[in-house]
C-alpha cells in the first residue's frame, strides 16, 4: 500500500472521550501508553472501545499494526494522531 493510499483510508476510532469534528485524537489519549493513536477500518471493532464512535483520518502516514486476513480488519497506528471527520454516535 502506498503512502497516499494509507492516508486516504476510511478509519474509525472508538473512545470514551467526547471529541468534536476537527479535534485531534493524539497519542496522549493512548491508554496503553505506547505513544500511538489507534484506528481501524472496522466500524464494529472500533465501537467496542468506547461510548463514542468517530470516523477519522490520519495526520501522518499510519502504520499497519495488525491485519486479520480472515475478516479484513486492519488496525492502524499513528504517532501524530487522527483528525475527527465525523462523529458516528
pLDDT digits (tens, 9 = 90+) for 64-74: 999 999 999 99
What is the three-state SS of the chain?
CCHHHHHCCCEEEEECCCCCCCCEECHHHCCCCCCCEEEECCHHHHHCCCCEEEEEEECCCCEEEEECCCCCCEEEEECCCEEEEEECC
Tally of structural domains, the chain: 1
β-bridge partners, 54: 13, 87
Q: What is the pTM of this model?
A: 0.86
30-80 confidence digits (pLDDT tens):
556 668 999 999 999 999 999 999 999 999 999 999 999 999 999 999 999
Which structural domain, as residue segments, surrounds residue 46? Answer: 3-87
Amino acid at each position: 500500500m502506498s503512502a497516499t493510499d494509507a492516508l486516504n483510508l476510511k478509519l474509525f476510532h472508538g473512545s470514551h472521550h467526547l471529541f468534536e469534528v476537527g479535534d485531534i485524537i493524539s497519542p496522549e489519549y493512548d491508554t496503553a501508553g505506547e505513544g500511538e493513536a489507534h484506528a481501524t477500518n472496522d466500524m464494529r471493532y472500533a465501537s467496542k472501545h468506547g461510548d463514542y464512535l468517530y470516523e477519522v483520518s490520519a495526520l501522518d502516514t499510519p502504520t499497519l499494526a495488525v491485519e486479520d486476513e480472515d475478516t479484513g480488519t486492519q488496525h492502524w497506528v499513528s504517532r501524530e494522531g487522527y483528525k475527527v471527520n465525523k462523529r458516528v454516535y
